[in-house]
Each structure stands twice: as structure tokens, then as C-alpha cells.
Structure 1
Amino acid sequence: MILEEMYNGRFYPCETVVADSPEYKRALKACSDLMETLSERLSKEDYKLVEELREQVSIAQCEENESHFKYGFSAGLLVQQEAHEQVQRGENK
């Protein structure tokens, strides 16, 4: 049950939900190939800048994903609350 997982500290959606679509896998492979090509063509200093850029983009994406998760979760709760209120109004008629 999700509440037990949350209570016991075993609920980690950001770590356990991993995209596994073919498109995602192709994109990861393309990124890996591009990084390999850049490592061969760029100086060490320039490649370090690319690695830093990639790290910063990853941090920004994680922050964005967290915001989307919070918004989606909140929206889901609001939908559930509204549905519950409508059911309650229907029973009171």
C-alpha cells in the first residue's frame, strides 16, 4: 500500500520510475554517441565545459520534473476532492 511505503520511507518516485520507451532508449544512445564524438574532437578543457553544461541541464530538468510531479499530484487531489463533493451533494438531494 502506498501509504505504508511512504510512512516507511520506501517511496521514491524519482528513483523508481524510469522511462523505458524505445524513443527514450534511442535518445540515450544518441547522447552517449554524441558525447563520445565530442570527447574525441574537443580539447580537454572544452570537453569539461560540455560535461558541466550537461550536469547543469540535468539539475534543471530534475527541478522541472519535481515541479511537474507536484502540480500533477495536486491536480489529482483536487479532482478527487471535487468528485467527492459532487457525490456528497448528490446524496443530500
Structure 2
Amino acid sequence: MATLQERKVFREAIMKTLYEATEGNRLLGVTGAKLRDDLQVPDEDLAAACAYLDGEGLITVDWAQGNTPAMVMLTHQGIRLMEAEEEEHD
């Protein structure tokens, strides 16, 4: 299982990847398999990070069998968070 620091890195990477892939459109999503492959995150850590972000209201997850994220989408709150971070870095 990942350390606290690794879990935080996974969550941040998921949010950034979703935001970039969907261009901030909450009607678009990314498959769990693509996130796993792009980020090189173990399945159990991806599921845990997605469950955490879903619980925070930042993403929505369509779950497949075995607690595997099938499709992951940003929520309005998640988009606002990512836009605020983007503005901070400009």
C-alpha cells in the first residue's frame, strides 16, 4: 500500500490528468485503464485515490466489477479547484 505522500501524489496526478484530458469539461471523462496506464499507478492505489477524490466531491466515478474505476469525470467543484490552481501558476 502507498505511503501518505504517494497517495497525495496519485490524487494530484489524477486531477491534473483529468483536467488536461477533458479541457475542463465535466461532460467528458477518462477511463480508469487510461489513468492507470498513463500514471503508472497500481490498481489498488488508483481505486483508493479515486474513492478519496469522489468522497471529496472533486470527481465522479463509474465503478466496474472489483472496485475498478471504469470511467472518471471531474465535477464542477473539481474543475473550479483546477482552474484556481491554474490561475495561481500564471
* TM band (smaller chain): under 0.3
Rg larger for: 1
Taking CA–CA contacts closer than 8 Å with sequence separation of 6 or more, which of the two structures ends up with the larger relative contact order?
2
Higher-strand-fraction structure: 2
Higher-helix-fraction structure: 1
TM-score by length of 1: 0.25
